[in-house]
A and B are shown apart, each in its own frame.
Chain A
Amino acid sequence: AQSVAQPEDQVNVAEGNPLTVKCTYSVSGNPYLFWYVQYPNRGLQFLLKYITGDNLVKGSYGFEAEFNKSQTSFHLKKPSALVSDSALYFCAVRDRNTGGFKTIFGAGTRLFVKA
């Protein structure tokens, strides 16, 4: 069965500093990996995805994530955090071999960026 772990409930970072939000996954086959962001009282928005190819993927709002197959990780990063990045971030996985179109979400990590 596929699963996603986000080990940190909350990440605090000062504005201008780099940020990392961690994600590890477990699938029986090869994964499709996604990051989504949820701003207060809003629906989820897609940030970026890894399907195949280059392990470093770039997405919206200056975010990027690196797929590491050996560590089964897909950490979200940004070189310089903004206060407006404060939100709830979800990592998600889809098992391309067995899971079809079913997307499983992690528990979410709340990011606080302090001015």
Chain B
Amino acid sequence: SAVISQKPSRDICQRGTSLTIQCQVDSQVTMMFWYRQQPGQSLTLIATANQGSEATYESGFVIDKFPISRPNLTFSTLTVSNMSPEDSSIYLCSVEFEGSFGTGELFFGEGSRLTVL
């Protein structure tokens, strides 16, 4: 298993501003993902954070709106840019460990709850 720490745990933001969420894992992982969970809804994959290269974004998500960094195997950031109330959501960092070749379960951080006014 892993300890996955996300910061901030929650924040209230003003429309038009940007916020960066940090995800720190206590061990090296190959795969890191960012999900969004809108109120009362399921999880939607935003992107796969690739170490040392650009993130792989899912349909409907773009780098200009959700820039992602992954400088090493234990850390990633997700920025929500130019926020609007529609971005109010829980943002979740998740990881899968090296060697599981797609068979492994995901481990999740506690999430970052953003409210945009």
Contact = CB atoms under 8 A, between A and B. Distances in A.
A100 B102 contact: yes
A45 B48 CA distance: 19
Query: Which of the listed residues B94, B105, B107 has the most CB atoms from chain A within 10 Å of its own CB?
Result: B105
Contacts of A105: 42-44
Contacts of A106: 42
Given A32-B103, A96-B102, A101-B31, A107 B110 contact: no
Contact of A90 (B31, B42, B94, B103): B42
A101 B105 contact: no
A45 B111 CA distance: 12
Contacts of A40: none
Given A32-B102, A32-B103, A101-B102, A43 B108 contact: yes
Contact of B103 (A36, A51, A102, A107): A51
Given A101-B31, A105-B42, A43 B105 contact: no
Interface in B71-117: 92, 94, 96, 102-103, 105-111
B41 interface: yes
A44 to B, nearest CB: 4
Interface in A81-115: 90, 94, 96, 100-108
Nearest to A99: B102
Given A103-B45, A105-B43, A46 B102 contact: no
Bin chain A's interface residue count: 20 to 34
What is the interface of chain B mostly: helix, strand, loop, or mixed? strand
A44 B92 contact: yes
Interface in A53-74: none
B52 to A, nearest CB: 17
A92 B31 CA distance: 17
Contacts of B108: 43-45
Given A94-B102, A101-B31, A101-B102, A46 B107 contact: yes
Given A42-B110, A43-B92, A43-B111, A104 B45 contact: yes
8 contacts: A34-B105, A43-B109, A44-B92, A45-B108, A90-B42, A101-B33, A108-B41, A108-B42
Given A44-B106, A101-B33, A105-B42, 4 more contacts: A46-B105, A49-B105, A103-B33, A107-B41
